[in-house]
């Protein structure tokens, strides 16, 4: 049966090849990241980091299970009462969900705190691995979690799909200005909604105000801040702002 304290040899040779552990962890990061990037691009609440952390946490628990059972001596337990060594661990994994749920909140129709909840769940997974004595694996995975939280979003930049609302007058000249800018910056217009409002100006002349709602796909070098800043410089554009929906 597995000793309550792992020996130095068991720590350095945990029961799975280190290369295999690394491949499983890396695969979890890649799979979670690929799905998370797609969700972040679609402007969904759970993005790249959240998906990576959840996938990584699940992989850590699966690896921990493999390590535990690889260190069990089943010959000693043959013919004896059955046992479940990971039952308490399972309660920790499910119980931490309630604590994570408390960090998620909705403000101004936007969900926040998902990444914090995912990192909290990861900490519980790493705590279990430390508790079972696999210090070096927990340390390596902990460094990876910190890297994901602090660096990944700076290295992998995802411009999510948002809408840009532009309100303007002088339709012909302004549309030409907007379209030329989008074409020059390789900004693709996925969809556009528009409506017209009539108003009376300061000279008691009837005029039209136009509002276009653009759904855009941005190249990595361009941000929505750049769009708002550039379009707001036009004299005919009255309002320009981004919208999530």
User: Is the pLDDT score of 245 beyond 70?
Assistant: no
Q: Which whole-number Å values give the CA distances from 215 to 155, 191, 209, in the listed order? A: 25, 5, 20
Can you tell me the mean pLDDT for 215-219? 85
3-state secondary structure of 151: coil
End-to-end CA distance of the chain: 57
User: Is the pLDDT score of 7 beyond 60?
Assistant: no
Q: Which residues of 200-230 are buried (b: 16+ CB within 10 A; e: fewer)?
A: eeeeeeeeebbebebebebeeebebeebeeb
More confident residue, 31 or 204: 31
Token output for 87: 């039952």
- What is the phi/psi pair of residue 27, to 5°? -65, -40
More confident residue, 89 or 60: 60
What average pLDDT does the structure give for the chain?
78
3-state secondary structure of 79: coil
Q: Which whole-number Å values give the CA distances from 130 to 41, 57, 104, 124, 170, in the listed order? A: 35, 14, 27, 10, 66
User: Is the pLDDT score of 11 beyond 80?
Assistant: no
Q: Is the pTM of this model over 0.75?
A: no
Token output for 215: 């759904």
- According to the model, what pLDDT value does residue 166 have? 93
The string of pLDDT tens digits covering residues 38-78 is 777 766 767 888 888 888 888 888 888 888 777 665 555 55
Helix count and strand count (H, E) for the chain: 10, 6
Task: List the domain boundaries for the chain.
Answer: 8-155, 162-243
Can you tell me the mean pLDDT for 104-113? 65
Which stretch of DSSP H or E encloses residue 189? strand 188-200
3-state secondary structure of 204: coil
CATH number of 162-243: 3.30.70.260
Q: Which whole-number Å values give the CA distances from 124 to 5, 120, 127, 200, 217, in the listed order? A: 20, 7, 5, 63, 38
Using CA atoms, how far apart are residues 232 and 160, in angstroms rounded to an integer?
Answer: 21
């Amino acid at each position: 049966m597995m000793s309550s304290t792992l020996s130095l040899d068991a720590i350095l040779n945990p029961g799975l090849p280190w290369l295999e552990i690394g491949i499983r962890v890396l695969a979890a990061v890649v799979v979670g990241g690929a799905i998370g990037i797609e969700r972040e691009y679609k402007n969904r609440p759970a993005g790249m980091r959240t998906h990576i952390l959840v996938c990584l946490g699940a992989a850590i628990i699966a690896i921990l299970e493999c390590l535990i059972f690889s260190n069990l001596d089943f010959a000693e337990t043959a013919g004896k009462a059955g046992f479940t060594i990971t039952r308490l661990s399972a309660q920790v994994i499910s119980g931490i969900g309630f604590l994570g749920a408390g960090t998620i909140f909705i403000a101004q129709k936007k969900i926040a705190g998902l990444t914090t909840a995912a990192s909290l769940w990861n900490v519980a997974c790493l705590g279990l691995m430390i508790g079972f004595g696999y210090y070096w694996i927990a340390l390596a995975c902990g460094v990876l979690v910190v890297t994901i939280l602090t660096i990944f979003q700076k290295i992998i930049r995802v411009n999510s799909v948002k809408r840009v609302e532009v309100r303007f007058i002088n339709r012909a000249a302004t549309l030409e200005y907007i379209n030329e800018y989008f074409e020059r910056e390789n900004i693709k217009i996925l969809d556009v909604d528009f409506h017209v409002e009539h108003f009376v100006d300061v000279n008691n002349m009837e005029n039209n105000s136009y509002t276009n709602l653009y759904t855009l796909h941005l190249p990595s070098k361009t941000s929505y801040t750049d769009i708002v800043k550039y379009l707001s410089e036009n004299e005919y554009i009255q309002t320009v702002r981004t919208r999530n929906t």
